[in-house]
Structure 1
Amino acid sequence: MSGEPLVGVVLVSHSAAVAESVAELARGLAGGGTQAPLAPAGGLPDGGLGTSEERIVRAARSVDRGAGVAVLVDLGSAVLTVKALLAEGDELPTGTRLLDAPFVEGAVAAVVSASAGAGLEAVVAAAEEARTYRKA
C-alpha cells in the first residue's frame, strides 16, 4: 500500500452472499497492485436476509484509513439503515458518504478509483457516474 491513505469502500446488501460476491468482482476488476480497503456488510447476524447496523458499522470502521468511506447499498431499506447511522453522527467514521450509485457497476468504479488513489469526491463521482453507463 502506498503512503497515502486510501478511501475505503463498504458494500451493503440484504444478502451476505451478494455483498461478498460483488466485493470479489470489484477486487478482481481493480487488478493487481494497491487495493483500496473493501468490506462487504450483507445480511443479518443469523444468516437471514436484511441489513444489520452492527455489520455496517463494523465494516466501515474496518476500511477507514482516514481518507473517507464510500458506502454503496443495494435496496431501499439498506439506504434507510445507512441514512439512520449517518444521522446518529457518531457510529460511522468521519467522512463516510452514502453513494447514489448502482450497486455492482458503482462498486467496481469506486474500488478501481479508490485503488488508484483517488480522493473521496472523485470516488463518489466515479461510482455515481456508473449510473449512466449504457449497455445497449
Structure 2
Amino acid sequence: MSDGAPVGIVLVSHSAALATALAGLARGLAGGGTAPVAAAGGTEDGGLGTSSELISAAAAEVDRGAGVALLVDLGSAVLTVKALLAEGDELPEGSRLVDAPFVEGAVAAYVTAAAGGDLDAVVAAAAEAYQYRKE
C-alpha cells in the first residue's frame, strides 16, 4: 500500500448496467466499504461492448497511488485491458489485470481493498474466488 491509500478497483463489463450493479453489490456486501471502485461498462454510446476510453477514465478515477485492480467479464474485455496495459501510459502505474471470476472476484477484491489490503492481497483474494464451490 502507498501511504495508507486504498487499492482502486475497476469493473470492466460489456454492459454498463452489469458493471454498475456489481460495483453496488461489492460495496453493499462489504458494509459500504471505502475502497474506490468504478464501473467501466459498455461503449461510449451506451451499447454493449468495451471501451478503452471508459476503462482508462475509470482507472484514473479510482487511482490513489496504491495500484488499480482491473476485473473483466468476457474475452474482448480482457483483450482491451491487455492492450491498454501494453501501451504503458493509458492506465495508472501499478494497474493489473486480475484473472478471477467476475462476480465473486470483484466482491473478494473489494472486501480486501476496503480492509486495507495491498494490491497483491487484492489480486490474490480475487483469484482465490476460483476455488469457491457451489455444490
Shorter-chain TM-score: which interval?
over 0.9
Q: CA deviation at 1:97?
A: 0.3
Residue number in structure 2 paired with 1:23 = 23
Question: C-alpha offsets along residues 53-93 of structure 1, whole Å, 9 cap, x if unaligned?
Answer: 00000000000000000000000000000000000000100
| CA–CA separation in structure 1 for the residues paired with 2:75 and 2:38 | 20
Find the aligned partners of 1:35 and 1:109 in 2 and give their Cα distance.
14
Separation of aligned partners in 2, 1:35 and 1:126:
17
TM-score, normalization: structure 2?
A: 0.97
Unaligned runs of 5+ in 1: none
Q: Structure 1 counterpart of 2:58, which letter? A: A
Show the counterpart of 1:67. Answer: 66
- CA shift digits 1:12-54 (9 cap, x unpaired): 000000000100100000114x410000000001110000000
Unaligned runs of 5+ in 2: none
Task: Give the counterpart letter for 2:20 in structure 1.
Answer: E
TM-score by length of 1: 0.96
For residues 1-136 of structure 1, what are the structure 2 equivalents within 5 Å?
4-32=4-32, 34-136=33-135
Q: Measure how far apart 1:4 and its partner are.
A: 1.2
How many residues align? The count is 133
Q: CA RMSD in A?
A: 0.9
**Percent identity of equivalent pairs:** 73
Deviation for aligned residue 1:10: 0.1
